[in-house]
Amino acid sequence: MATIRALVNCTRTLRAQTGSGTGVTQSWLKLGNYAATGDVEQEACWIDLKNKELAVSNTVQGAEKTNEGVDWDKWEKLIAHKDILQHMKRTYDANMAMIERTANMEGDMSHLDTDWELYENARQNCNQATRTVKKIIADGSKALWVSQNNPPAWKVDTNEWLESDQYWQAFVEKHAMYSQSGDAPDPEAPAIVEANKATWNTNMAKFNERTDTPMLYDYMHHLPAWEFYDINRKQFYEHMTYFLLRTGDDFRHFPDMPSWKWLTHIEDLRFKQFAVAHRRREKRQIERVARFEPDDFGTGEEQTGEETEMAILNHEKHATELTLAKLMGNFAFLCDPLVPVQTRFQLHYILSKDGYAEHGQTKVLTLGDDINALFVLPKNAAIGAPLPTPLECFHNMMEHYRISGMRINPTYATRTEHQTELIHQRGPNWLKLPHETVMEAYLRRMRKDDPLRNAFTEYAAELRERIAGAKEVPKEQWESMITEIEKASKEDDMAIKQMENAKHGKMAQKLIESDLQKLMDEGHILVLDPTNNNIVNNATEVEAALKM
């Protein structure tokens, strides 16, 4: 080793004196004759020295060559997808320009040694994608080879399947079994695929349907509140009605989970109503010796009561609209502390309740000759006067029915009483706040986006003007005026009944032929064109519209 080191030092000295070059390299390589002395270790070191010298020379020669770049013309001839080639060329040029620009920069270059994680991740992703592509190519080649070398179908023996060849198994199953069997359809046929989809949709619809006996009832305890109410519409109607009557709040504040006290109270009220209805139904069923007897609301044998509840709701809605229209037409709605009267009995009843015979300070007012009502102002009437409770109002209504000779169905009366009890639980401010009129409370609780709000606002403004210009009726004219008003009120009631009966085809034709023009001329009926809200005075136009 010492000899080799001395030889290397001598070689460096000679190269330093004579200069580097091919001739110099060839000259000092002739010193190998002196190294071949028979010493194996010395000859191995000499061979290692020559190899390292050759590597250094090759590196120097490679660095001296100029970088010619990528021959894009060559690759353009080899690659058929020119758009991909152009994209690669633009990417290469942009990267090389960035590298050269960075190499020519001056100053601190320490930032170029950091943030190479993104590059490493991209390189690893590219390597992984390359391996995936190679695997896909290999699998595709295998599949093509298997497909090319498969024997014809008539040579297939289904008893000699190759379990390792899944492609061959699928081939035999499809072509040798389904295609040659008339009873077994092809599972990949378009008709079979569509039939399977239709079966799946049918099963899912059956699972999620909203009928009386869906499969989803078995999982009711897993459902959220909105889906529970979507299925159980009757329970939703009961809970929503209870919430609105109990709180007087807006339906948008309906809780997702009602209080357990509310639920138990609902069950208690339902049982009380059921006790009355079942007692009456049992009596009728025994008297008629019938297998089934509907209740007072007409619930059928195969019905759950949801249909009857909706029918009652629609009937009450329609009756409320008629009553509201009649009251607003005579400014008898939201006119407290005035009490509207339309009959002689009502006038004397209010006077007796106020004690007019004792103090004689009760006033009777009129809001105009076109109003079929008189308005009584009691002696101690005030905005802040205490209101009667809902139960007192209910008992007064039932007393009015009794005096008028009207009989109310006990089941319906029980239902109405329970609803009144819920309103009664609101407390003393069940209708309005202290020092607030009923009109102000009504408008305050009406939603801003209610489509009827503008109509009620206009009605309230006109009612205030009428009250401000009200005239007191002398006592001597009370009887004569109330007699005329009672007569006009009865005529209005008859007109409303005729219009209600006109919903049926035969009654409508009879009304058109005889009474419609008369009712319109006398002012009992006001017909408006829904397109422009203009008044229609010709019964022929109304007849033509009803026949459309």
Strand partners, 163: none
**Residue range 246-274, pLDDT digits in tens:** 998 888 889 888 888 999 999 999 999 99
Cβ atoms of residues 364 and 376 within 8 Å: yes
In what order do the strands lie in the sheet containing 339-341?
339-341, 374-377, 363-366, 471-472
Q: What's 183's DSSP letter?
A: S
Domain map of the chain by residue range? 2-60, 323-408+422-481, 508-547
DSSP string for residues in 224-288: -HHHHHHH-HHHHHHHHHHHHHHH---GGG--SS--HHHHHHHHHHHHHHHHHHHHHHHHHHHHH
Give the global pTM: 0.54
Handedness of CA 332, 338, 342, 345 (dihedral sign): positive
d(CA 214, CA 205): 9
d(CA 236, CA 310): 12
d(CA 309, CA 299): 9
Q: What is the pLDDT along the chain (548 residues), one digit of tens a residue?
A: 444 344 444 444 444 544 444 455 556 677 776 666 667 777 788 888 888 888 888 777 776 665 567 888 888 888 888 888 888 889 888 888 887 787 677 666 676 677 778 888 888 998 999 999 999 999 989 888 888 887 776 776 655 655 556 777 777 666 666 656 666 677 778 888 899 999 988 877 776 665 555 555 555 555 667 777 877 788 888 999 999 999 988 888 898 888 889 999 999 999 999 999 999 999 989 998 988 888 888 887 777 778 888 888 888 898 898 889 889 988 999 988 889 999 888 898 888 988 888 888 889 999 988 888 999 998 887 777 788 899 999 999 999 888 888 888 999 999 999 999 999 999 988 988 888 889 999 999 898 888 889 999 999 999 999 999 999 999 899 899 999 988 988 888 887 776 666 655 555 555 555 566 776 676 666 677 766 667 777 777 776 666 55
**Residue range 497-544, pLDDT digits in tens:** 766 666 555 555 555 555 667 766 766 666 777 666 677 777 777 766
The predicted structure's pLDDT at residue 18: 44
The predicted structure's pLDDT at residue 180: 61
The predicted structure's pLDDT at residue 6: 46
Q: Is the peptide bond before 337 cis (omega within 30 degrees of 0)?
A: yes
Cβ atoms of residues 263 and 235 within 8 Å: no
What lies within 8 Å, CB to CB, of 344 at 6+ separation is 479, 482, 483, 486
Strand partners, 535: 528
Secondary structure string (H, E, C) spanning 56-72 = HHHHHHHHHCCCCCCCH
Burial profile 316-347: b = 16 or more Cβ within 10 angstroms, e = fewer: eeeeeeeeeebebebbbbbbebbbbbbbeebb
What lies within 8 Å, CB to CB, of 383 at 6+ separation is 336, 337, 435, 436, 437
Residue pointed to by tokens 């072509």: 175
d(CA 245, CA 247): 6
d(CA 491, CA 517): 15
Strand partners, 422: none
